[in-house]
Amino acid sequence: MNEPPKEPVKYVETTLHLPYHYVAGDYRAVQLRAFKDKKIIGSRCSKTGKVFIPPILNSPESFAPAEEFVEVADRGVVTTFCVVNIPVIGRSLEIPYVAASVALDGADISIFALIQECKAEDVRMGMRVEAVWKPDGERQGSHEDILHFRPTGEPDAPQEFYINRL
Amino acid sequence: MTKLRNVAIVGFAQLPIVARDEHRMSSEMLYPAVREALAQVGVERDAIDYQISASTDYMDGRPFGFVSALDVMGSWPPRQDLHLEMDGTFAAYYAWIRMQADECDTAIVCGHGKTSEGEPDRVLGLQLDPYYQAALGLDATSTAALQASAYMARTGATDADLAAIAARNRSAGTKNPDAQVREAASAAGLQMSPWAVEPLRRGYVPPIGESATCLVLAAEGKAEKLCDKPVWIHGVDHRTEMQTLGARDLSRSASARFAAGKACAMAGIAGASAVDLAELHATNPAAELILCEALGLDPKAAKPAINPSGGAICGDPIMSTGLIRLGEVFRQLSGRAKDRAVAGAKKAIAHGTQGHALQHNIVWVLGSERRWS
């Protein structure tokens, strides 16, 4: 223990442990609770009427309050996406898989979503997708309540439908 | 002293300091502070040229958490922005510099952070060097205690002296609705409280607290239109010292002394004792005594009044604590200090600090009249 190191010390390892206990915030808490009922909640800007997901206190764009909660659909359109070919630590997904931005029907900005139940090369901008929820009784009120999104098979949306909601 | 551009504080909003806001994220706490500050000066966001926020992602535990502050600062359409991983008082200094360079006329300066969501002692420990000091598990309360011990050994100050300072702050804090600790406490009572880290007792240090703050700065020409009683910046200077605790005399604050000397020279006053009140960013009584010595203030004298707000001992929302000192001086010199007003106050000092054991210090001199004509 008291022996000096035989090799020159080139680095030291210092492990950080920083625990956190987050407050979700009243706005996001509304959204999380609604996941239990398979509902997706956003909030509407009092000035422009734009709907944000997740619900937020104010519109970053107009700076006006966005305090009115509104339900949006659990389906929407792929606005942009990427094919992931690198495994991510802590995620046991089979690669390649698709991470996409999805504009839910009724929302003015998109959310990040995992696309499954189709081949990566089949995913495209404008593709209609829907949420696949955990079964009843298993939803905890967390983002994991939505397992992933999958294609609905409906016709693709035209570009003008989603171009301002990327 | 070269003639500089007159810049004033024209608005200040602060959420009352609380132990933990269970209902709002950091950015959600900041939004009402920004709205209130803008309402005070009667403008919309597009009247502000420049914005700067002060926060640390390690405190919130959210990578790029400072970016979410952009959403609540009225950042659209785009304007100049800066983020500083330091107390908001240093952010105010950056804004002042930009105004001196004629790059903007108006600015908002925000401090925010959910101190309660992480463990501030662990987070602040990371400011120390990772090989020797941080690896010991040193935290900010412990390094403050080392400093207090060094001061007491050099000067002979006693536990009772520390208790008296804490009690004076606690008494003042009863009149500050934004303070977190608002119950008065006697020196004798505080001396009975257990050690936080010897020689600092729990009654001498603030509890964990959080807030959000927004200060509005404006240059001459704009300032008078935004505020009936602008509070003008007469002088400012900041100095830093070595990070290694053993490499400096912890019992003194050389950087605070230098900064005060330079700021007073810029302000055209003989010394800090020439002002009517001083708000010192001291999170324990020994730090306050060290700062008083460095600035040439008598901690027992009636003038200048020290910490009429109750000081940082009555509330320490990290990243905002120093900015609140500036905000308190604004309230005092613009007739907004209500029950805690220092009668007839015309000039004041606002001090801020960053780092362990008063490593980095900024001293502002402010007045109710313009500095340069």
Residue B60 reports pLDDT greater than 90:
no
Report d(CA B25, CA B368) in Å as an integer.
Answer: 36
Q: Which chain B residues have any C-beta within 8 angstroms of a chain A C-beta?
A: 20-25, 27-28, 31, 44-45, 58, 60-61, 70-72, 74-76, 114, 116-119, 122-123, 126, 130-131, 134-135
Average pLDDT over chain B reads 96
Q: Given 3-state DSSP classes, what are the helix, strand and coil percentages for chain A, each rounded to the nearest 5?
A: 15, 30, 55
Contacts of B210 in chain A (CB under 8 A): none
Cβ–Cβ below 8 Å for A58 and B76: no
A 14-53 residues with CB below 8 A of B?
A: 14, 16-28
Q: Taking CB atoms and an 8 Å cut-off, how many pairs form between chains A and B?
A: 64
Residue A61 reports pLDDT greater than 60:
yes
Angular region, B357: left φ>0, alpha ψ -120 to 50, beta rest:
left
Name the strand (E) or helix (H) holding B50. strand B50-54
Q: What count of other Cβ atoms lies within 10 Å of the Cβ of residue B227?
A: 20
Residue A146 reports pLDDT greater than 70:
yes
> Do the Cβ atoms of B123 and A18 come closer than 8 Å?
yes
Closest-CA residue to B176 (of B323, B325, B348) = B325
Chain segment B241-279, per-residue pLDDT in tens: 999 999 999 999 999 999 999 999 999 999 999 999 999
Of all residues in chain B, what percent carry a pLDDT higher than 70? 100
Structure tokens, B169: 């702050």
List Cβ neighbours of B315 (8 Å cut-off, separation of 6 or more): B17, B173, B178, B179, B180, B181, B206, B209, B211, B321, B324
Q: What is the CATH number of domain B7-119+208-226?
A: 3.40.47.10
More confident residue, A30 or B131: A30
The whole-number pLDDT of residue A42 equals 98
Cβ–Cβ below 8 Å for A23 and B117: yes
Cβ–Cβ below 8 Å for B45 and A63: yes
Report d(CA B310, CA B304) in Å as an integer.
Answer: 14
Mean pLDDT of A82-94: 89
> Which residues share a beta bridge with A97?
A84
Report d(CA B306, CA B348) in Å as an integer.
Answer: 10
Chain segment B166-197, per-residue pLDDT in tens: 999 999 999 999 999 999 999 999 999 999 99
The whole-number pLDDT of residue B140 equals 93
- State the pLDDT confidence band at A14, using cuts at 50, 70 and 90: confident
The three-point CA angle B41-B43-B49 to 5° equals 100
Cβ–Cβ below 8 Å for B25 and A25: yes
Residue A2 reports pLDDT greater than 90:
no
Cβ–Cβ below 8 Å for A60 and B72: yes
Taking CA–CA distances from A62, the nearest residue in chain B reads B76
Residue A15 reports pLDDT greater than 90:
no
Q: Where are the domains of chain A?
A: 26-165
Looking up tokens 């659990």, which residue turns up?
Answer: A74
Angular region, B305: left φ>0, alpha ψ -120 to 50, beta rest:
beta
Residue B52 CA to chain centroid, in angstroms?
A: 16
Name the strand (E) or helix (H) holding B209. strand B208-209
- State the pLDDT confidence band at B64, using cuts at 50, 70 and 90: confident
Report d(CA B79, CA B143) in Å as an integer.
Answer: 40
Q: Which of B22, B25, B44 to mutate to test the interface with A (most CBs of A within 10 A)?
A: B25
Cβ–Cβ below 8 Å for A20 and B25: no
The three-point CA angle B214-B215-B217 to 5° equals 145
Peptide bond connecting A96 to the previous residue in cis, omega within 30 degrees of 0: yes
Q: Is B343 helix (H, G, I), strand (E, B) or coil?
A: coil
The whole-number pLDDT of residue B2 equals 72
Type of residue numbered B140: A
- When CB atoms are compared, the residue of A14, A17, A26 closest to B130 is A14
Mean pLDDT of B22-31: 95
Cβ–Cβ below 8 Å for A60 and B70: yes
ipTM attached to this prediction: 0.90
Mean pLDDT of B107-120: 95
> What letter does residue B313 receive in the DSSP assignment?
G
Cβ–Cβ below 8 Å for B123 and A16: no
Q: Where are the domains of chain B?
A: 7-119+208-226
List Cβ neighbours of B367 (8 Å cut-off, separation of 6 or more): B231, B232, B234, B267, B333, B346, B347, B348
- State the pLDDT confidence band at A16, using cuts at 50, 70 and 90: confident
Contacts of A20 in chain B (CB under 8 A): 60-61, 117-118
The whole-number pLDDT of residue A9 equals 87
A 62-121 residues with CB below 8 A of B?
A: 62-63
Structure tokens, B136: 């010991």
> Which residues share a beta bridge with B84?
B54
Q: Helices (H), strands (E): how many in chain A?
A: 2, 8
- State the pLDDT confidence band at B136, using cuts at 50, 70 and 90: confident
- State the pLDDT confidence band at B1, using cuts at 50, 70 and 90: low
Contacts of A56 in chain B (CB under 8 A): 71
Peptide bond connecting B199 to the previous residue in cis, omega within 30 degrees of 0: yes
Report d(CA B126, CA A79) in Å as an integer.
Answer: 41
Report d(CA B139, CA B288) in Å as an integer.
Answer: 19
pTM of the model: 0.95
Residue B317 reports pLDDT greater than 70:
yes
Q: Which of A16, A28, A30, A63 to mutate to test the interface with B (most CBs of B within 10 A)?
A: A63
- State the pLDDT confidence band at B227, using cuts at 50, 70 and 90: very high
Of all residues in chain A, what percent carry a pLDDT higher than 90? 84
Chain segment A30-41, per-residue pLDDT in tens: 999 999 999 999
- When CB atoms are compared, the residue of A17, A21, A60 closest to B117 is A21
Contacts of B122 in chain A (CB under 8 A): 17-19
Type of residue numbered A88: V
Residue A45 reports pLDDT greater than 70:
yes
> Do the Cβ atoms of B23 and A25 come closer than 8 Å?
yes
The whole-number pLDDT of residue A1 equals 61
> What letter does residue A153 receive in the DSSP assignment?
-
Taking CA–CA distances from B68, the nearest residue in chain A reads A60
> What letter does residue A135 receive in the DSSP assignment?
P
Closest-CA residue to A146 (of A120, A123, A121, A112) = A112
Residue B300 reports pLDDT greater than 90:
yes
